[in-house]
Structure 1
């Protein structure tokens, strides 16, 4: 199986060993493409020393969808494209090969692995990983929306792989999105009759501890995504029900062992909800205001 690993980077030198320690031991270096957004640290030199392919773009040109689509176009001979983010750590030497096993089924167009909480993660961020990435693998089809609703198109390009033929057949990654290029692509693939696999046996460490302001900005971007790509809500249902289930699960996880974190968790939930509603109503705001509200501020330039 001809595959390549793609890692978009920006000033990734500080966590370089965490990213590459197991990566270098599991696949050939020339199978890795570093797509760098004009880092000002040693990222590109470290990548070159490691033997990785390096392609640089202007920082202003970065887009979550467009940059990954560029990678797909730079690697026309790839059968499978594996995407990682610079802040992940492989939890096992064979994580990527384990993920690739999903493509032995010809109808699988995309697969994503299990994200475990990073070492030292807070209980709140650990719960988010346990909730979204369970221990059981599964394969989703378009009919999965009847049971899962919007969750049927859940996927994360922090650790995901795509059959290039299928990806290109649905138009590739959207080139100009503030957030959620993976979700849009997953929806298109299911609607086109492909399957998406969740491979719980392929594991990485990856989680974040966001402040309430960061949560607000992140969910503002999600709201913008859902406003602009409302067809996804029409096809797979709204995200409100899933959000309510997440909050109930989080409270059960925190009580009683981490009871003192519940007030903070509720504040974060309120910030998410408010940010999401502002994002859905983005037409009420000027570009300069949207830039201030967004986590991905360069998108609005």
Structure 2
């Protein structure tokens, strides 16, 4: 594989401590890459830290941040790179070869995107631990559109907390979308698969990333996920729905908790019920007033955008 020009793109907002941890971890990497930071007008010292540690920092107004649009803006401003690795500020790497490993699948010129593995943060609660272990197994995989009948919606699965994209593949499918509320990563990989590209999951490329969400936060996130799924129904029509996946997750979570952690079982049931309620309610979002949707969802600024 010829030497790739690689950029690591990090969107930031009021996460100074997290960013410092991430930058410290990136400094240990064996791979060669440039770090690009786009900050949404942080007020806690994040922007100052970014300028002190990184040569390529862009500040934008917080109201202008968009999950897909901001990421695509960084590609448009820096078209000289072959691969764009995206990380969120609350993730970090422990293995010095993490970035090098996420680049490995690009040896196949038809691989358009690679998802890295996520392990839970060391302070993750049991439910957060299970979420990462369920969704991010150790086994690597190369997927094509032909895998959809078996893998279903897992075929275009991707997470921008630690993911890499081939610049040519992004260009071929029109880049990251500016109109989605979130899940811009899955949108892109779905487009790539339909366009004939392959999507990889690289189990040897590992980061730490998880959330100890409250019930309210869980509800708001799944409301937004449901909005995305409703508005981008073509993805589920192409790759198949999520029938049975929810029950499989619940069974896996209870097995993970086991009888010795049975005190966590009620919280597991309640949390999954909250997710389902948010998901069902989101299907009616077009009937809801904008003010209500702002209170129900996590990404409230989206509802002030022209795409809402």
* Same fold, judged at TM 0.5 (above): yes
Instruction: Identify which of 92, 104, 113 aligns with 1:101.
Output: 104
Q: Secondary structure at the match of 2:152?
A: helix
Aligned partners of 1:69 and 1:25: how far apart in 2? Answer: 27
- Look up the match of 2:48: 45
Residue pair 2:30, 2:97 contacting (<8 A) in 1 also: no
Question: What whole-Å deviation, never above 9, does each CA across 1:41-90 have from its counterpart, x for those lacking one?
Answer: 22122122213310111100011111111111111111000000000010
Aligned partners of 2:77 and 2:31: how far apart in 1? Answer: 18
Please state if 1:54 is matched with 2:45: no
Q: Secondary structure at the match of 1:7?
A: strand
Stretches of structure 2 that go unaligned for 5 or more consecutive residues are none
Residue pair 2:37, 2:54 contacting (<8 A) in 1 also: no
Shift of 1:93: 1.4
Deviates more, 1:50-59 or 1:225-234: 50-59
Shift of 1:144: 1.1
C-alpha change, 1:35 and 1:143, in structure 2 (3 Å) is: same
Aligned residues: 301
Q: Secondary structure at the match of 2:176?
A: coil
Q: Secondary structure at the match of 1:225?
A: helix
Please state if 1:218 is matched with 2:225: no
Shift of 1:29: 9.2
Aligned partners of 2:95 and 2:62: how far apart in 1? Answer: 32
Aligned partners of 1:261 and 1:233: how far apart in 2? Answer: 32
Q: Secondary structure at the match of 2:27?
A: helix
Aligned partners of 1:185 and 1:140: how far apart in 2? Answer: 14
Instruction: Identify which of 200, 203, 206 aligns with 2:206.
Output: 203
Please state if 1:292 is matched with 2:290: no
1:165-184 aligned at under 5 Å gives the runs 165-184=168-187
Residue pair 2:114, 2:202 contacting (<8 A) in 1 also: yes
Shift of 1:17: 2.6
Shift of 1:112: 1.1
Please state if 1:123 is matched with 2:126: yes
Shift of 1:237: 1.2
Question: What whole-Å deviation, never above 9, does each CA across 1:195-253 have from its counterpart, x for those lacking one?
Answer: 01111101111011111111111110011001100111110111232222111111111
Shift of 1:257: 2.6
Q: Secondary structure at the match of 1:178?
A: coil
Aligned partners of 1:75 and 1:97: how far apart in 2? Answer: 21
Deviates more, 1:116-125 or 1:24-33: 24-33
Q: Secondary structure at the match of 2:244?
A: helix
Aligned partners of 1:239 and 1:278: how far apart in 2? Answer: 17
Shift of 1:28: 8.6
Question: What whole-Å deviation, never above 9, does each CA across 1:154-180 have from its counterpart, x for those lacking one?
Answer: 110000000011011101011121111
Aligned partners of 1:48 and 1:30: how far apart in 2? Answer: 17
- Look up the match of 2:6: 3
Please state if 1:71 is matched with 2:104: no
- Look up the match of 1:148: 151
Shift of 1:272: 0.3
Q: Secondary structure at the match of 1:77?
A: coil
Q: Secondary structure at the match of 2:260?
A: coil
Shift of 1:15: 2.0
